[in-house]
Structure 1
Amino acid sequence: MTAIRAAQAITPSTALGELITGNKRFVYGNPQYGHNVTQAAATAGGQQPHSVVLGCIDSRVPLEAIFDQPFGSICVARSGAHVLDRSLVGSVEFAVSALGVSLALVVGHKRCGAVTATVDAIRSDDRPGGDVGYLVEEIAAAVDGVDLDDPAATDQVIRAHVIRTTERLRESPALATAVAEGRIDVVGAIYDLDTGWVEFLNRKD
């Protein structure tokens, strides 16, 4: 743990800057990194990631690609609409405590199918059962205060759900101290499927 922290000199704002700059390279068609086996081999002996990125399972949102990050630079955890459960929170906590990441980034995206299904289920009062129902119930908390008759309701819920996820991570007992001490930051973002741009919601700088 001490060795990881000693090697990990990057600050939360620097980690966020790496992702912002990488997203610009991605959008402008000038990526520096790709799926190259030599890069994979170069990091096989160890890793020093600067961020853990929590995103949706949507196949159109490849998180390593949209931030143009090389092997070993970010840890990725995914679930439908980045819904948190114990395994995902534990994964983020592990990335912070064992791998020394400086940033936890929550990435939602436009036209999210899970959020759309949740809004539709609430509008129709017909909620699915089983584990899909669990996803809907977890996302439904972000609907509070949103006018479902508004054509932009789904976009509003996507944004509210990202903010809610970041707040829940910040309040996690294992992360709250690190956040308070400035050792890590938790930031929300929304990916635009059409343009490739990532909007960062609650940056400090």
Structure 2
Amino acid sequence: MTATSPAARPGSSAQPGPAPITRPADALAALVAGNRRFVSGRPEHGHDVAAAAATSGGQQPHAVVLGCIDSRVPLEAIFDQTFGSICVVRSGGEVVDRAVLGSISFAVSALGVPLIMVLGHARCGAVAATVDAVRSGERPDGDLGYLVDEITPAVQAVGPEDPDAAEKAMRVHVTRTVRRLRDMPGVAQAVAAGRVDVVGAVYDLDTGWVEQLP
């Protein structure tokens, strides 16, 4: 984690990048446009070493995205974002702990990102495991139990016996997490001032589309 300017290092061939995105609405538009390129099969950015070298002198990301660890949801790819564009935080079921909160706080306070996105996805294993645990009354042992504990309120909110409990609970969990992040010290003040926005979204594994939640 380095909070430095994107200017090229002395003696390097890297050139300054485009003007940084500082408004929440522009940051969200950049992610939406990137997802549209991804779905259409016309991405602009790849994992090219030249792009990595161009940002080696510093970073000015325009968003921090909290997503699941699911291997089918590579965040830089589905938003078609290049090196230095977004900070990525991942945990099972987008569950928040102190490390996640600290990482997001760093992105906002030190890197100046104007957008925080919480991204859930269809057929989330962590949510499905929580639905099973609530239905059976058997909480998993160890640290997996922590994930279940954090997602359980969303499952209870929709009703564990609902046939679509996992899908509905995933959306409720994303919305609850958005509200929690909005109330973070430092983030709440930035949101009130209009410098930062916090949004929730859901990724469709079948189509690749990202749907923004209300």
What TM-score, normalized by structure 2, do the two folds share? 0.90
Task: Report if the CA contact (8 A) 1:118-1:139 is conserved.
Answer: yes
Please say if 1:104 is aligned against 2:116. Answer: yes
Aligned-pair distance for 1:174? 2.1
Task: Specify the alignment match of 1:138 in structure 2.
Answer: 150
TM alignment of 1:178-189, pairs within 5 A: 178-189=190-201
Consecutive unaligned residues of structure 1, counting only runs of 5 or more, are: none
Alignment partner of 1:73 out of 73, 85, 92:
85
Runs of 4+ aligned structure 1 residues displaced above 3 Å come to: none
Deviates more, 1:94-103 or 1:7-16: 7-16
Where does residue 52 of structure 1 map in the other structure?
64
Structure number with bigger Rg:
2
Of 124, 147, 158, the match for 2:159: 147
The SS at the match of 1:173 is coil
Q: Residues of 1 paired with 2:20 and 2:45: CA distance?
A: 21
The normalised TM-score by structure 1 is 0.94
What is the RMSD computed on CA atoms of the aligned residues?
A: 1.6
- How far apart are the structure 2 equivalents of 1:169 and 1:163? 10
Q: Among 162, 166, 183, which residue is 1:171 paired with?
A: 183
Unaligned runs of 5+ in 2: 7-18
* Contact 2:69/2:92 (8 A) holds in 1: yes
SS of match in other structure, 1:130 = coil
Separation (CA, whole Å) in 1 of partners of 2:162 and 2:94:
24
User: 2:131 aligned with 1:119, yes or no?
Assistant: yes
CA distance in 2, matches of 1:72, 1:145: 38
How many residues get paired? 200
Q: Is the 8 A contact 1:56 1:79 kept in 2?
A: yes
- Hey, what does 1:128 align to over in structure 2? 140
Q: Could you list the per-position Cα deviations for residues 28-66 of structure 1 after superposition, in whole angstroms to 9, with x for gaps in the alignment?
A: 000000110000000000100000000000000000000
**Which residue in 2 is equivalent to 1:11?**
23
Are 1:90 and 2:96 an aligned pair? no
2:52 aligns with 40
Q: What is the CA-CA distance between 1:173 and the residue it aligns to?
A: 1.5
